[in-house]
Amino acid sequence: MRISIPISAFVAAIVGFGGTLAVVIAAAKAVGATQAETASWVTAVCVAMAIECLWLSWRTKIPIITAWSTPGLALMAASSGFTMADAVGAFIVTGLMLIATGLFKPLTQLISRIPASVASGMLAGIVVTFALNAVKTIPVDPWLILPLIAAFFVIRLFNPALSVLAVLIGGGIAAFLTGRVGGLPAPELSTLTLIAPHFSAAAVIGLALPLYLVTMASQNLSGLAVLRAAGYHPEPGPLIGVTGLFSLLSAPFGGSTTNLAAISAAICTGPDVHPDPAERWKTGPFYALAYLIFAVFGASLVAIFAVLPQSLIVLVAGLALMGSLANALAIALKDEYQRMAATVTFVVTASGLTLFGVGAAFWGLVAGLVVLFLEAVKKR
The H or E element spanning position 58 is helix 35-60
Distances (CA, A) of 207 to 84, 199, 281, 296, 345: 12, 11, 34, 29, 17
- 349 φ/ψ sector (left φ>0, alpha ψ -120 to 50, else beta): alpha
pLDDT for the residue numbered 166: 82
- 81 φ/ψ sector (left φ>0, alpha ψ -120 to 50, else beta): left
Sign of CA dihedral 301, 304, 306, 309: negative
Of 118, 70, 40, residue with least CA distance to 318:
70
Beta bridge partners of 66: 260
pLDDT for the residue numbered 92: 97
Name the pairing type of β-strands 66-68 and 258-260. antiparallel
pTM: 0.76
Measured CA to CA, the distance from residue 379 to residue 373 in angstroms comes to 10
pLDDT for the residue numbered 247: 96
Q: What is the pLDDT of residues 90-100, one digit of tens each?
A: 999 999 999 99
pLDDT for the residue numbered 65: 93
Q: What is the pLDDT of residues 89-136, one digit of tens each?
A: 999 999 999 999 999 878 777 766 778 788 788 778 877 887 898 899
Q: pLDDT in tens for each of the 380 residues of the chain?
A: 788 888 888 878 877 787 678 888 889 999 999 989 999 999 999 999 999 999 999 999 999 999 988 888 888 888 888 999 999 999 999 999 999 999 987 877 776 677 878 878 877 887 788 789 889 999 988 988 999 999 999 988 887 767 877 888 888 888 888 888 777 677 778 889 999 999 999 899 889 998 998 888 778 877 887 787 778 888 888 999 999 999 999 999 999 999 998 777 877 887 878 888 899 999 999 999 999 998 998 888 778 777 778 788 788 878 877 877 887 788 888 888 889 999 999 999 888 777 765 667 778 888 998 998 888 887 77
pLDDT for the residue numbered 356: 64
Measured CA to CA, the distance from residue 221 to residue 143 in angstroms comes to 41
DSSP state of 251: G
